[in-house]
Structure 1
Amino acid sequence: MTAAGAAVSEFGNALSLLVLLFWATPISSLLVAAVLVAELLPFVLGAPLAGLLVDRLPNRRLLIIALLCQGVAIAAIAPLMGQPVFVVALVFASGCGRAIAQPCISALVPHIAGEENSTRAYALLGTTRSVGNIAGVTGGALLAGFFGHPAAMLIDGCTFLAYAVLLAFVRSERRPSGEHSERPSAMAGIRHVRRDSVLFAAILGLACFVGATVVINVADPAFVRFVLHGNEFLLGAMQACWMVGILFGNRVAARLVSASQLAQALAITGMTTGVAVLIPATFPFVAAAVIGWFIGGVSNGVDNVAMNAIVRSRTPEQMRGRAFAAVGSMVTGANLVGTAAAGGLLLVMGPRAVFAVGGTGAFVAGAVCLVFVRRALKREESPAVAELSSN
């Protein structure tokens, strides 16, 4: 039920994002960036509060409430698409619900699937989300083309309602235990990530290459429109190639077991993502873009599963909500910076050049991350050596 609901919800997310990006592109690249920033900002600003809520309230019920809030906000965009300010404000409101929903489902998965099957469960969840995304960017383009942008937003609002209804049939629940006064503060998740050298190196590296790569989200519509001379159908097809790649990446990541494998996989995917973005930047043809986006999708699938799995494996159960929220805030914060920077970059250079900048940055960040992850793993395996070297 949870995986099916996630697929339905991701269908709506992909549909609405495709519609909003193509709606905003002719108006201004800054509006494209504003829509993406509004979606991401709540993850950064609200991470401590979101994590605290996840570690204090029954997760399934909290997730249902967050989904209903998202659905109302997205549906309300439909009659207001002539007012960009209101659209951005409602996207921000939807992002607030999503900022709670993301750590909520990540913390809930081990209770549904069992601790020993969590990595496979994260991979399954990622797979169903990818299927929903593929349907959203392909079928969504058709829906938007035939019925118009407002109708597509209403459909997206209904997908959140469908997800909430499916969750009502799930019996598993994560009920945080202990008195509130006994639990760590809202900032405990951030402190936990910072103290774990392997986790911190992996997540910091992930955040850096995400921040570099995310510039393509803003440049992608302009790249399709002005470089490849395509329309929303080509944009949807390219995004579908990325999602198909995620399906393969999820299967690869499901086989990762140890923290060493998970941490190094996160670093390596930064490098492969950089290569994926550089391919269409170097060869501005549809075929090259398809190949690059498939490779990027595989990398994305691996790092999504590996991120959840390594946080779960290295975090005590009672504070996983705050840890997932802290990691989400780091990655989304980098995403936010990259998104904001992309709007400015598009004003001074073309989308192809923006792709080149993003791909190079991701590759370098991934390579540096791999070095620091391996050093952290070596220190962890040989604490005596690390202590001698520090003296």
Structure 2
Amino acid sequence: MSFFGDLRTVLQGSRFRRLFGTRLVSQFSDGVYQAGLAGFVFFNPEQHTSAAAVATAFAVLLLPFSVVAPFAGVLIDRWPRRQVLLLSALAKAVLAVVSAVVVTGGEGPAFFVAALLVLSVNRFFLSGLSAGLPYVVPREQLMMANAVTPTCGTVASSLGTGAGLVLGVLGGAGALGTGVVLVTAALGFVGAGLVSLSLGYRELGPHLEREPVEVRDAVRGSVRGMVAGVRHIWSRPPARDALATIGLHRTLFGISSLMTLLLYDNTFTGGGVAGLAGFSVAAAVLAIGFFLGAVATPWATRRMTPGTWIRLQLLAAAVALVLFALPFSPVLFPVAAFVLGFVSQGVKVTVDTLVQRHVDDAFRGRVFSVYDVLFNATFVLGAALAAALVPPSGAGATVVIGMAAVYLAASLAWSLRERVTVALPETTEA
């Protein structure tokens, strides 16, 4: 069934619609908040952003999120999940207002502390959404719901980012414009909390009561569980190769993201509002690429193997970097952003499927915890590499050529892997 057909099917359930609405409102507001962060951290009109400053910002904002992720599920299984959604949304609203107040008072560590807390609390919110999904859809529709909700959430977040960037442009450069964006995000978080109240207190579970000592044991077990997850991944070549590919892609995507910020702040424009406006265009076409990549992947993987689809996407990324990014033209660069957005989401959806198919159910949660950490940590690694390799202007021709070469090598590796897989007995892919 198509993406839109799956979406129509699951939307027929009223309980699913209430949880889905909570997700969309919250993730749209997440996007608005992220636009406020971008406007303040990356497009400060008082100074041109350096590569090191951008990389540091990515590390501060993403790495703690990755640390929280493995432990969120443990606590989500002990608390009423509807309350997790409500209280997390309200906490994010308060912290967003704090961010806005800090911005108007000048730059300082308090801004990053508030942003860190918002993103960490958001991990609990997203985990609550995922854990509550089996309670609002029939078992036979769970796969459909798992397929469409993350993509729709990503689209909502991208639309929110676009809306926030537009607000930032209209509000003008400086603290006041950023403050307006952050307060708007806070209002959205309150709205998400109100939508969650349409669900019953225990409607999303859990229905088991645990003693505090068991929670502590479970937290300690999370670390051991992740180690076991890594071992399990290594014993399953399809899952191992898929996760290695997403890690490689996210590293390259981190490099390209930092490069894009520098180009729009220091080269394509004079920074400030002009830089934010130009970056908004690139972000919009990137979001369109994300959406189309998610929609096209189920269609494509019904007509070719997942490995072939990954290979073609990696090849497309290499070609796009050379043709559209390397000239460093403000006209052509958004085309490269579109292709990388398409590839990013297409590869991720395919990797998700490969991991789900080739790991044991008993290890699936632990494997996806590893996946979650890998997804963010490799992006930060890419930003750190870019800080060392990309010039302040963002126009690093050698870096772009190197990225294209890595994408091409990865595509060739998947081509070789596909040939070897066909030649080997089917049991080797179990």
Please identify, of 341-350 and 366-375, the stretch whose mean Cα deviation from structure 2 is larger.
366-375
Structure 2 vs 1, CA of residues 350 and 143 (structure 1 numbering), >3 Å: closer, same or farther?
closer
Match of 2:110 among 81, 86, 90: 86
Cα shift readout 1:307-359 (whole Å, capped 9, x = no counterpart): 44444455566765443322100111111211223233335773343444444
Partner of residue 98, structure 2? 76
| Preserved CA contact (<8 Å) 1:277 1:293 | no
Question: Aligned partners of 1:367 and 1:218: how far apart in 2?
Answer: 26
Supply the distance in 1 between the matched residues of 2:384 and 2:377 (Cα, whole angstroms).
11
Which whole-Å CA distance do the structure 2 matches of 1:112 and 1:370 have between them?
A: 41
CA contact (8 A) 2:39 2:178 kept: no
Q: Percent identity?
A: 17
Residue 208 of structure 1 aligns with an amino acid whose one-letter code is: L
Shift in Å at residue 297 of structure 1? Answer: 2.1
- The answer for the alignment partner of 1:166 in structure 2 is 195
From the superposition, tell whether residues 168 and 273 of structure 1 become closer, same or farther in structure 2 (CA, over 3 Å): farther
SS in 2 for 1:285: coil
**How far, CA to CA, are the matches of 1:253 and 1:59 in structure 2?**
32
Q: Give how far 1:156 is off.
A: 1.4
Mapped partners of 1:378, 1:70: distance in 2: 52
Q: What's the counterpart of residue 52 of structure 1?
A: 74
1:253 maps to 297
Q: 1:78–1:151: 8 Å Cα contact kept in structure 2?
A: yes
Contact 1:47 1:326 in 2 (8 A): no
Q: Which residue of 1 aligns with 2:379?
A: 335
| CA distance in 2: counterparts of 1:262 and 1:119, whole angstroms | 18
Q: Which residue of 2 aligns with 1:96?
A: 120
What residue in structure 1 maps to residue 5 of structure 2?
none
| Matched residue, 1:16 | 33
- Residue in structure 2 matching 1:361, options 406, 417, 421: 406
Count of paired positions? 384
Q: 1:228 to 1:83 in 2, by over 3 A?
A: closer
| Partner of residue 345, structure 2 | 301
TM, length-normalised to structure 1: 0.81
- The equivalent residue for 1:150 is 179
Mark the runs of 5 or more structure 1 residues left unpaired by the alignment: none
What is residue 242 of structure 1 aligned with on the other side?
286
Partner of 1:192: 229
1:289 to 318, 326, 333: 333
Q: Does 1:209 pair with 2:249?
A: yes
Asked whether the 8 Å contact 2:155–2:290 carries over to 1, the reply is: no
Show the counterpart of 1:272.
316
1:175 aligns to what SS in structure 2? coil
Quote the Cα distance in structure 2 between the aligned partners of 1:267 and 1:177.
45
Q: Which runs of 5+ in 2 are unaligned?
A: 1-17, 172-176
User: Which stretch of the first structure deviates more once superposed, 212-221 or 265-274?
Assistant: 265-274
C-alpha displacement at 1:239, in angstroms?
Answer: 0.9
Q: Which deviates more from structure 2 when the two are superposed, residues 232-241 or residues 312-321?
A: 312-321
**What's 2:65 paired with?**
43
Match of 2:15 in 1: none
Task: Describe the shift of the 1:73–1:370 C-alpha distance in structure 2 as closer, same or farther (beyond 3 A).
Answer: farther
Counterpart Cα distance in 2 of 1:208 and 1:123:
23
Cα shift at 1:135: 3.0
Q: Deviation at 1:228?
A: 3.0
Q: For 2:313 and 2:207, how far apart are their aligned partners in 1? A: 34
Q: Which residue in 2 is equivalent to 1:175?
A: 206
Q: CA deviation at 1:247?
A: 1.8
Counterpart of 2:260? 220
Q: What do the CA deviations read for 1:131-170 (whole angstroms, capped 9, x no partner)?
A: 4244334322221123311110111122222223323324
Q: Rg: which structure is higher?
A: 2
Would you say the 8 A contact 2:260–2:394 is kept in 1?
no
Distance (Å, rounded) in 2 between the aligned partners of 1:322 and 1:104: 16
Is 2:183 the counterpart of 1:139?
Answer: no
- Using structure 2 for the length normalisation, give the TM-score: 0.75
1:278 Cα deviation after fit: 4.0
- Are 1:381 and 2:421 counterparts? no
Residues 206-240 of structure 1: CA deviation (Å, up to 9, x unaligned) = 01211122112222122124443353222112111
User: Match of 1:239, as an amino acid?
Assistant: A
Structure 2 CA distance for partners of 1:169 and 1:83, relative to 1, 3 Å: same
CA-atom RMSD in angstroms: 3.7
Flag the 1:85–1:361 CA change in 2: closer, same or farther, 3 A. Answer: farther
Letter in 1 for 2:55: A
Say if 1:98 and 1:283 are closer, same or farther in 2 by CA, change over 3 A.
same
Q: CA 1:262/1:343 → structure 2, altered by over 3 Å: closer, same or farther?
A: same
Report the CA distance between 1:119 and its aligned residue.
4.8
What is the alpha-carbon distance in structure 2 between the residues aligned to residue 348 and residue 342 of structure 1?
A: 10
Q: 2-side partners of 1:207 and 1:55: how far apart?
A: 28
In 1, Cα distance between the equivalents of 2:208 and 2:100?
41
202-211 or 284-293: bigger deviation:
284-293
Give 1:50 deviation, angstroms: 2.4
Q: Which deviates more from structure 2 when the two are superposed, residues 69-78 or residues 209-218?
A: 69-78
Kindly indicate whether the alpha-carbon contact (under 8 Å) linking 2:266 and 2:394 is maintained by their aligned counterparts in 1.
Answer: no
Structure 2 distance, partners of 1:325, 1:286, is 38
In structure 2, distance between residues paired with 1:60 and 1:307: 30
Letter in 1 for 2:121: G
CA drift at 1:40: 0.8
SS at match of 1:340: helix
Shift of 1:266: 5.0
* 1:243 CA drift (Å): 0.9
Distance (Å, rounded) in 2 between the aligned partners of 1:67 and 1:360? 43
Task: Supply the distance in 1 between the matched residues of 2:289 and 2:261 (Cα, whole angstroms).
Answer: 20
